[in-house]
Structures are given as C-alpha cells and as structure tokens.
Amino acid sequence: MAIKKINIWYISSFLISLIVAIPIATVFTSFFDATSNYSSIIKDTFLYNYIYDSAFLLMGVLFLTFIIGVGCAYLVSFYKFPGVNFFKWTLILSFAVPAYIYAYSLTAFFENYGTAYSILKNIFGEGDYNAIIPKFDGMFGAIISISFSLFGYVYVLTRASFHYQSQNLIELGKNLGFSKKKSFFKIILPSARPAIVAGLSLVAMETLSDFGSVSFFGVSTLTTGIYNAWISFDDLTLANRLSFYLLIFILGIFILENLSRKKAKYHSPSKGGFKSKSLITLNNFQSILAFSFCLIIFFVSFLFPVLQMLYWTIIFPKHFFDLNIIELFLNTLQLVFLSCCVLISLAFISNYGNRVSKSKLLELLTTFSVSGYAIPGIILAVAFITFISWFDNNIVMFFEINTIKSIFIGSILGLVIVYFIRFYSLACNGIKSGYLKINYSIDESSYLLGYSKFKTFTNIHIPYLKNSILLIGVLIAIEIIKELPITLIMRPFNFETFATTAYIFASQDLLEAAAAPSLFLIIIASIFILVTSRYILKD
Amino acid sequence: MSKNFLEINNVTFAASNKNKVNNVSLNIENQGEIICLLGPSGIGKTTILRTIAGLEKIHSGKILLKNKIISSKDTHVEPENRNISLSFQDNCLFPHYNVVKNIEFGLERNKNKKNFLNMNEIIKFLHLEHVVEKFPHQISSGEAQRASLARSLLSNPDLLLLDEPLSNVDQSFKEEIQVKLKQILTDLKITTIIVTHDSYEAFYLGSKCE
C-alpha cells in the first residue's frame, strides 16, 4: 500500500480543485432555475439561429485550419526548400494575433475606401474599385479571421507528429510501391491522425468560445447569445442555460480529444525502432510552390494584420498619441504577473498534492476542474458572478455582514480568479506533464536522505521543473494578453488593457483608433512567443 | 524489552499480487552487522527493504529499530525521520544535478554532526573522480550505481539498505569495491542489509545470509 494520508498537501490540492470546479458546477445547477420571458422568445426565435451559426462557423473553421495547418506542417517536416527553417518558427507567430484583431484588419483592408482601395488608387489612379474588391464580412469574415488566428494549434501538433514519424514508415511505403500522394494519404496522414484531431479539438473549443470576432461581424453564435441574455436582458439564468448547451457541445469535443490523446500513446515510436527522416530536396518548380505556400500563409496570418495595424497607426498618429501606452502596458503586465504567480503556484501545489496523496477522489476532482479550459471565458465570468451573487444573497446576508460583491465583481481580484479558473488547465496540465518525467523513486530517494515533503518539493521538484515553469508562464502570459471577454466583464471601472481598448474602439466603429493598441498587443505577444519558440516547437 | 538492533516480527505487506511479503521475521542483534538477503527474483526482497525504509506501510506485525517501533499496524514513522538509507537497484540520482551535487545530498541528514566519512575519499574509493561534474544522463549505469552508493554512505545512516548495489558495476572494479565496501561498513559499524543475486557477493560481504 502506498503512503496515503490526508495531509496539508491533500487539503490544499482539494481546495484548489474545488474553487476551480465551483463555476463549472454553477452552470449545471442553474439549469433548473426559473428564467424570464426572454427565454421563451429566444427558444422560438434565435435559439436555432445560434445553434446553426455556431455549427456552420465550426465546420468552416475546422476545414480551413485543417488544410492550412496540415499543409504547412507537411511541407516543413518532409521537404527541403529555401526558407524552410525560417518558416518552421515564423508560422507559429500567428498565435500572437487574436481573431478579433484579425477581423479588424480584414475589414480595414477590404472595406469600401479601405486600404485595398487606397493601394489600387495609388497604382492605377481614380476608379470604381469598391465594386471589384471582395468583401470579407459576416460569417465568411468570421471563418477567415478565426482560421488564420487558430491554425497554429493544428500546425504545431501535426508538425510534432510528422517529426516523430520514422523513416522506416516512409520507406515501407516506397517498398510497397506507393506514389508520394498515396504514401501521404495512406501512411503519413493516418499515423498523424491523433495529433491532427487533438489540434482540431483545440481549434473547435476556441472557435465556440470566440466572442470578439463573431460579435464584430454580427454572427449570432451561442456565445454572443449568452452575452446578450446577460447584458441586454439581465437574465443570468438564461445565460447559464445557454452556457449549458454550449458546455454539452464542448464536452463532446473534449471527450473526443481525450480519446484521441489516449490513442496517441500507441503511436509514439519506440526508442529503438526510430530512424530519423531524410528530408526530400524539391526541384526548382516544386521549391517555388512550397516556398510560396508557406510565405502566403505567413504573410496572411501574421504580416498582413501587423502591416495593416502599423499602416493605420502611422497615418492616424493622433490616436497613437492619445493612447496612454504606459498605463495600458502596466495594466496588462499587472494582470499577467498576478495571474502567472497565482496559476503556477497553485497548479504546482495541486499537482504535488495529487502526487503525494495518490487519492482517486482528488484525481477525479482535478480532472473535473481542468475542464474549465473547455468552457468559454464568457461562461466562466457569468458563472462566477452568479455564484458570488448567490453566496452574497444567502450566506453573507444570513450572517448580516457587509456585501462581498464589490470585492469580487469589478475588481482585479475577481478578474484574476476568473483567469485562474479559465487557464488552470493550461498550468495544471503543463506541470503535470513535467511531473510525469519525474520517477516516484526520485521522491523516495529524497525522503530517505532525510528531506521532508516540503523540502523535496522546494529542493528537488521546483529546480527540476524550472524550464516547464518558464514555458507555462509564457503561455499563460500570451493567453492573458489576448484575452477579451473575461477582461471585458470582470475588469474594474476604467481599467483598460490593450485588448479591451482595441475592442472598445472597434465596437464604436473607430477601427483606425483600434490599430495602435492592437499593434502593441501583437508585438508583446510575439516577443513572448519568440522567447519560447524553441520549447513550443520542441518535438 | 528486546535488545536487538533491528527486529522484524511477522511483518505482512501486500500492495499487489506482485509485491507482497508474508509473515517475515528477521533480527539483527548488534550494530555493525551485515546481513545479505539472497534469493531468486520475485520473492519480495526489495519489498522487504521498502517496508523497513518506511516507503510502504505494513498490514500486520512490527518493525523495531534501536528498540523503537518504526512500523506497525498503527504506527508509521515517515521515511525522512528514520535515518535509514536505501540505495535503489535502478539508480535514483536526481537528473537535474551533477554527480557531486547528488552525492552532497547525502550530507543533509547529518549536517550538524561531525562527519566521520569524507566525501572526497568516498568519491575516490568508488572511482568517481572523473564523473563528478557530469550529469546522470552522461554517465554509465555502473557509475550511477556507485554514485548512489556514495550518497547513501555519506548520509551516515543507522541502517543502510542496499538493493543489488553492484549489479551494474564493471567486473574490473567490482571485487575491489566489494573489499573496500566491507572494510568501510565494518570500520564504521554501519548496520547493513544487502539484497543480491550474487551468492559470492552475499557470502563475502555478509556476516550472516538469510
């Protein structure tokens, strides 16, 4: 029997997981509460529209991200062509561009008398170019924006899977007389399937939880429905009920992703049987094609929004100078710093608690709590407010003490708590995967040398996992810099970040004013990505 | 009251069908004795060591060290509080520290005591001079096993448990290390239980074989 007992680590770990699980449980329990009249109106009118638009958006984004992500991963993993090493890491820069900023760029460029019009006018003189410039708005615009901002998930995971495919597998195809095309469809693609499905599942979850770009393009998805139910009709219960539908949708995808990951274990090549791939050198024409494909994707996904925002920042300098960049930077940094500290330290404690107590109950609770990642930020924010209101009305009032609403709602504390719930899975799973590399006998050696559990934690585990901690910290930072709905709902009055400033200007149709904060957001996120690119691309 | 240095009375432990021991009894009367447990794989030799070290709780029976109960159905002294050192069969060096830092960890328990074992001498006697700056993944399994042994010796335990301590060590060093190991253990009166497959090693090192 393992050393099992309820100790301080167990209790801490239990409490941390419980806090994360509360808003998720709130969504489920609210399902049985009474709703306003708006509920029946929604049911008869918009509900099917929400579901239809969500499903259509999801299909479109999954299709595009599959083509772009797998296509790029295939080219950089199997072929040698000019710039291949450059594209390997530049293609992940698309992570720095949130879908809502991509949406602003797309509109700014293609709208009537927009940037495209100006370019054509400068080259060819006056003319009716608006008629021939394609328009990217509504559902189409949303699909393009979300796809180019999220294809990185499919690219990174598929590339890692392709990288680990043994040369033996490729040679097997050749021996069987397969053409390159047949090898790709019959051998390479199926063996990378778990990674592709995992990448697409992440894309699906992010798509369904997207708020910024769909609301900008006026697409009515379940997420915008939740926001409207809460903001426009003040019906928290209906918002939670819609959240419940979305949660079911997302949990289905989550289960799919889990199943796929379990399968992925069986696809890991054994150490002995692995033979590194020799890259195929392409002929001149093929090289140009491969180079062009990667360049177009890099340009469209990253350079295009950056250049568009830079262009507007330059030609509308007034908005740039009106912006309090130092304040926005410090606000963003403050949130990043606080959230990273809270998330990493609590995720560490929780993981260590799980490790030393080896309790099935704790493991189950932790698994449930990490599903917060699958839940859109907007739902978590609403659920958190619901819970605080319930707690305030029932528990706090019962003891006749001052209301706690102002402590948790519209405060930095509340904002960091909801970030914590939203990104707990990222931190927890990141540290967990680091812990999986530490054999239990390492802990036992430490105990036998006289180190207590606490000393083992501080002297052995933390130094061992310092690289994982750095990577997780940066990933959390990137997510928080880009995060919009939670910040929008939970932030204190007059507290702005680059993301909220860009959104507020864009929602007032002042896209040119949204350019500078968007540009700064992309630059900061890009710096974080570049710092960790070698870890992100680590195979 | 028993006067044995270590006393194991009818200990039963079972974690799974694979890891179990039934009604094991063993006494070490005097400090400094070296006991060898010899036997085929799968009979629970390692499991016995783990229960003595406190890494497993026992279901029945009791274990006493220096007349103090350290394991019984109701009592369980945590491994870090037993002053028992176990050198694992598969080396358990900390992968993120170099060899010398790993060996230094052995000093933790006896920080404030006067050390009668010199770290440099142990490193020299176990032929580790050329690997002290290297990391565990950069050395052979035999070298790792010797480094793990060095760390255990340096911790100056009341009871030293060695699980196949020299199984991966090169034959050319093995005999020399066996001789010196026996000398150190005897000189310093470190009570030791050694688990081994090697009957020659068992009869040479042990003052008693079970």
Rounded to a whole number of angstroms, the distance from the CA of A461 to the nearest CA of chain B is: 10
Pairing of strands B208-209, B34-38: parallel
Which range has the worst mean pLDDT, A381-385, A422-426, B165-169? B165-169
List the one residue out of A385, A430, A386, A429 whose CA is nearest residue A411: A385
B85 and A449 within 8 Å at the Cβ level: the answer is: yes
Interface test with B, best of A9, A436, A448 (most B CBs within 10 A): A448
List of chain B residues whose C-beta atoms are within 8 Å of the C-beta of residue A460: 94
CB atoms within 10 A of CB A86: 14
Rounded to a whole number of angstroms, the distance from the CA of B96 to the nearest CA of chain A is: 6
A2 and B15 within 8 Å at the Cβ level: the answer is: yes
Residue A2 has pLDDT above 60, yes or no: no
Is A223 in contact with A378 (CB distance < 8 Å)?
Answer: yes
The label of the residue with tokens 């095309």 reads A181
List of chain B residues whose C-beta atoms are within 8 Å of the C-beta of residue A356: none
List of chain B residues whose C-beta atoms are within 8 Å of the C-beta of residue A445: 86, 88, 92-94, 148
Is A470 in contact with B123 (CB distance < 8 Å)?
Answer: no
Q: Which one has a higher pLDDT value, A487 or A179?
A: A487
Q: Average pLDDT of A317-339?
A: 90
B55 and A451 within 8 Å at the Cβ level: the answer is: no
Using CA atoms, how far residue A28 sits from A33, A210, A492, in Å, is 10, 21, 27
Res. A270 pLDDT band, cuts 50 70 90: very low
- Which of A444, A451, A463 is the closest to B55 by Cβ? A444
Res. B25 pLDDT band, cuts 50 70 90: confident
For residue A79, list its beta bridge partners: A280
Interface test with A, best of B16, B82, B86 (most A CBs within 10 A): B86
The model's pLDDT over A32-73, given as tens digits with 9 standing for 90+, comes to 776 667 777 777 777 888 888 988 999 999 999 999 999 999
The model's pLDDT over A174-190, given as tens digits with 9 standing for 90+, comes to 777 677 777 777 778 87
Residue A167 has pLDDT above 70, yes or no: no
Res. A307 pLDDT band, cuts 50 70 90: very high
CB atoms within 10 A of CB A458: 12
**Which residues make Cβ contacts (< 8 Å) with residue A478, sequence separation at least 6?**
A95, A96, A525, A528, A529
Interface test with B, best of A445, A446, A460 (most B CBs within 10 A): A445
The label of the residue with tokens 């259509």 reads A56
Residue A272 has pLDDT above 50, yes or no: no
For B161, which residue in chain A has the nearest alpha carbon?
A448
**Three-state secondary-structure class, residue A34:** coil
- Whole-prediction pTM: 0.76
List of chain A residues whose C-beta atoms are within 8 Å of the C-beta of residue B155: 448-450
For B50, which residue in chain A has the nearest alpha carbon?
A444
Average of per-residue pLDDT values in chain A: 82
**Which residues make Cβ contacts (< 8 Å) with residue A177, sequence separation at least 6?**
none
Share of chain A above pLDDT 90, in %: 20
Give buried/exposed letters for B160-198 (b at 16+ CB in 10 A, else e). bbbbbbbbbbeeeebeebbeebbeebeeeebbbbbbbeb
Rounded to a whole number of angstroms, the distance from the CA of B52 to the nearest CA of chain A is: 11
Interface test with B, best of A8, A437, A440, A449 (most B CBs within 10 A): A449
List of chain B residues whose C-beta atoms are within 8 Å of the C-beta of residue A444: 53, 55, 79, 86, 88, 92
Sheet with strand B20-28: strands edge to edge = B20-28, B6-14, B60-65, B68-72
pLDDT at A147: 95
Whole-angstrom distance, CA of residue B72 vs CA of residue B63: 6
What is the CATH topology of the domain spanning A54-219+276-315?
MetI-like fold (1.10.3720)
From the centroid of its chain, how far is CA B9? 20
The model's pLDDT over B175-204, given as tens digits with 9 standing for 90+, comes to 878 887 888 888 878 899 988 888 888 888
Res. A151 pLDDT band, cuts 50 70 90: very high
Q: Where are the alpha helices (DSSP H) in A358-411?
A: 360-369, 377-391, 397-398, 405-408
Measure the CA angle with vertex A401, ends A400 and A402; round to 5°: 130
List of chain B residues whose C-beta atoms are within 8 Å of the C-beta of residue A463: 96-97
pLDDT at A539: 45
List the one residue out of B168, B160, B161, B166 whose CA is nearest residue B179: B166
List of chain A residues whose C-beta atoms are within 8 Å of the C-beta of residue B95: 442, 464
B79 and A444 within 8 Å at the Cβ level: the answer is: yes
Whole-angstrom distance, CA of residue B104 vs CA of residue A46: 69
Is A276 in contact with A172 (CB distance < 8 Å)?
Answer: no
For B86, which residue in chain A has the nearest alpha carbon?
A448
Res. B152 pLDDT band, cuts 50 70 90: confident
Residue A449 has pLDDT above 70, yes or no: yes
Whole-angstrom distance, CA of residue A422 vs CA of residue A410: 17
Which range has the worst mean pLDDT, A135-144, A318-327, B20-29, B52-61? B20-29
pLDDT at B2: 57
pLDDT at A271: 40
Note the CATH number of domain B6-209.
3.40.50.300
Which range has the worst mean pLDDT, A256-265, A329-338, A378-387? A256-265
Q: Which one has a higher pLDDT value, A304 or A354?
A: A304
ipTM of the complex as predicted: 0.80
For A356, which residue in chain B has the nearest alpha carbon?
B55
B86 and A448 within 8 Å at the Cβ level: the answer is: yes
Q: Which one has a higher pLDDT value, B80 or A252?
A: B80
Rounded to a whole number of angstroms, the distance from the CA of B201 to the nearest CA of chain A is: 24
Measure the CA angle with vertex A452, ends A447 and A453; round to 5°: 95
pLDDT at A520: 92
pLDDT at A184: 78
Q: Looking at the complex, does the CB of residue A463 fall below 8 Å from at least one CB of chain B?
A: yes
Which range has the worst mean pLDDT, A68-82, A160-174, B89-103, B121-135? A160-174
pLDDT at A316: 87
Which range has the worst mean pLDDT, A360-364, A388-392, A445-449, A458-462? A360-364
Q: Where are the domains of chain A?
A: 54-219+276-315
- Per-window interface: A 4-23 vs B, CB < 8 A: 4
pLDDT at A24: 74
Q: Where are the domains of chain B?
A: 6-209
pLDDT at A267: 43
Average of per-residue pLDDT values in chain B: 82
pLDDT at A269: 45
Res. A521 pLDDT band, cuts 50 70 90: very high
Rounded to a whole number of angstroms, the distance from the CA of B15 to the nearest CA of chain A is: 5
- Which of B15, B79, B93 is the closest to A447 by Cβ? B79
Q: Average pLDDT of A140-160?
A: 90
Interface test with A, best of B96, B109, B148, B161 (most A CBs within 10 A): B96
Res. A531 pLDDT band, cuts 50 70 90: confident
In three state form, how does the secondary structure of A227-263 look?
Answer: HHHHHCCCCHHHHHHHHHHHHHHHHHHHHHHHHHHHH
For B17, which residue in chain A has the nearest alpha carbon?
A1
List of chain B residues whose C-beta atoms are within 8 Å of the C-beta of residue A453: 80
Using CA atoms, how far residue A306 sits from A65, A138, A245, B169, in Å, is 20, 22, 36, 60
